[in-house]
Amino acid sequence: MRGLRMTVGCCALLLAGALAAQSVQVKDVRIAHTGERTRVVMDLDGDTTHNLFTLANPNRVVVDLSATRFAGTRARLPAAIGLVGNIRVADRENGSARLVLDLDEAARPKSFALQPGAGFGHRLVVDLYPLDAAPAAVKTSPRQAQSRDLVVAIDAGHGGKDPGARGRGGLLEKDVVLRISKRLAQLIEDEPGMRPYLTRSGDSFLKLGERMRRAQNAGADLFISIHADAFSDRRVRGASVYVLSNKGASDEAAKLLAERENQADLVGGVSLNDKDDTLAAVLVDLSQNASLEASIEVGDLLIDELGRIGKVRKPTVQKAGFKVLKSPDIPSVLIETAFISNPHDESNLQSVQYQQRLARAMHNGIRDYFYANPPEGTRIAALAKQQRSEREHVIRRGDTLSEIAQRYNVSVSSLRATNRLSSSRIRIGQVLRIPPTRGI
Ligand SMILES: [Zn+2]
């Protein structure tokens, strides 16, 4: 099995090298507003494929260009006009380039590629059209709706007759993840505008589907499943964050892990392969895309926070076919906090201080996510709006990210995450959103 994994690693490396060599460069980003339409044009030095999708709360249009880099363009983006409130770009670790248009109101996007001609090279065009104004009667009273608390469903993995992974020192996954879950629940409880929901609060066995059903019944806005990994190679250690994939696992280890975690249902004597289950899974996959994007976003923030306190096995969100994460509308992540099979990780997990640090890291990641993407009609939405207007920083000559972070008592990483900065480069006149101050 180790031989196989080595081979997979080598191929991935070769592939990454080939992609880098063939990357299309975005030469320029232009924006124009005529009549009712706002047009964003990316000038490219080659042909590329793209994928466009929209996100709500706040309204965004996201364009991913495969095997493309923004490189120098990032430093000289045009000022937003028309229906676009802000333009952000990032080169992603998978080799794709992402353009995000923050919209002042929901708009209807249309995108198309243009071949070279009339003095221009390859171009990708994104047109935005205003939606027809909604009837006034549809609008609800914002004052009344803003009182809702966000619900964070915390799912301690395994339990009861399913102990999960077991450390050499005897530590059981089901026990340690419950302790971490309860610490996280306490931090969420203390956070204004948020409420925790534990899928299990004792040592009880729960089928995988039941966990998600409970979270849905509790009105969860986020589902976070907490685990501790094990692997035959005891040297492997560190935390990982997974999201559901509807296209197959992103690496061999993720696939193996998904198989093992999914087998928990068999302990209860229920096969995952019965027809209804398969049908349900297919239906869920079809409607999964919007919350998958959100899951990846919250996963990125969690990795960022976990990386601040300890070792992270993989620097990006991993995708795996976890049954526990199949939810049609709730952003969901599964965190393997550490490798219980590694002696160092096992002793960390046993320490109350480390459990608390893990819970704090998750709490910070969750808070960063919801302050950046507050669901409409929640207290957090109102708090985030208030904070945004109070806490913006316009870059002046000589400013650096670390100075700004220090001034507002936030971390550089959360500053970068909140503003989707993929490097430490900032430009004069750029407006940075300042994330909430840390509770550590
Ligand atoms: Zn587990």
Cβ atoms of 169 and 347 within 8 Å: the answer is yes
My answer on whether 92 and 233 are in the same domain is no
**Contact between residue 239 and residue 177 where contact means Cβ atoms under 8 Å apart:** no
Provide the 3-class DSSP secondary structure of residue 174.
Answer: helix
Cα of 364 from ligand 1 centre, angstroms: 22
* Residue after which a domain boundary falls, among 100, 131, 162: 131
335 C-alpha vs ligand 1 centroid, how far in Å? 9
Please tell me whether residues 422 and 358 are part of one structural domain: no
pLDDT digits (tens, 9 = 90+) for 170-196: 999 999 999 999 999 999 999 999 999
Asked if residue 412 lies in contact with residue 432, where contact means CB atoms within 8 angstroms, the answer is: no
Please give the Cα distance from 418 to 64 (Å, whole number). 19
pLDDT of residue 195: 95
150 with 126, same domain?
no
Q: What pLDDT is attached to residue 142?
A: 43
Q: Which residues 6+ apart lie within 8 Å of 23 measured at CB? A: 67, 68, 69, 95
Same structural domain, 365 and 416:
no
Whether residue 421 sits in one domain with residue 291: no
Region 407-432: what's the mean pLDDT?
84
Q: How far is the CA of 174 from the centre of ligand 1 (A)?
A: 8
Question: Does residue 29 carry a pLDDT above 80?
Answer: yes
**In the sheet that 107-114 helps form, which strands lie side by side, from edge to edge?**
68-69, 24-34, 37-44, 122-130, 107-114
357 and 401 part of one domain: no
From ligand 1's centre to the CA of 191, what distance in Å? 27
* Structure-model confidence comparison of residues 270 and 400, the more confident one: 400
What is the DSSP-derived secondary structure letter of residue 396? -
Residues with C-beta atoms within 5 A of ion ligand 1: 157, 164, 227
CA of 209 to the centre of ligand 1 (A): 15
- Identify whether 383 is part of a domain: no
pLDDT, mean of residues 217-233: 87
Alpha carbon of 85 to ligand 1 centroid (Å): 42
Is residue 3 one of the residues assigned to a domain? no
Question: Which range marks the domain in which residue 409 is found?
Answer: 391-433
Residues linked to residue 69 through DSSP beta bridges, in sequence order: 25
Token pair of 90, please?
A: 């990032």
List, in sequence order, every residue forming a beta bridge with 198; answer none if it has no partner. 154
Q: In this predicted structure, what is the pLDDT of residue 427?
A: 85
Q: How far is the CA of 261 from the centre of ligand 1 (A)?
A: 6
Rounded distance from Cα 337 to ligand 1 centre (Å)? 10
Q: Is residue 294 part of a domain?
A: yes
**Do 79 and 210 belong together in one domain?**
no
CA atoms within 13 A on the CB side of 375: 19
**What are the two backbone dihedrals, phi and then psi, of residue 127, each rounded to the nearest 5 degrees?**
-100, 140
Kindly state whether residues 64 and 187 are assigned to the same domain: no
Q: Quick check: 122 and 114 in contact, CB under 8 A?
A: yes
Ligand 1 center to 229 CA (angstroms): 6
- Domain annotation covers residue 342: yes
What pLDDT score does 212 carry?
Answer: 79
For residue 99, give the CATH number of its domain: 2.60.40.3500
Total domains, the chain: 3
**Same-domain check for residues 106 and 255:** no
Q: How many angstroms does the Cα of residue 339 sit away from the middle of ligand 1?
A: 10
Same domain, 256 and 114: no
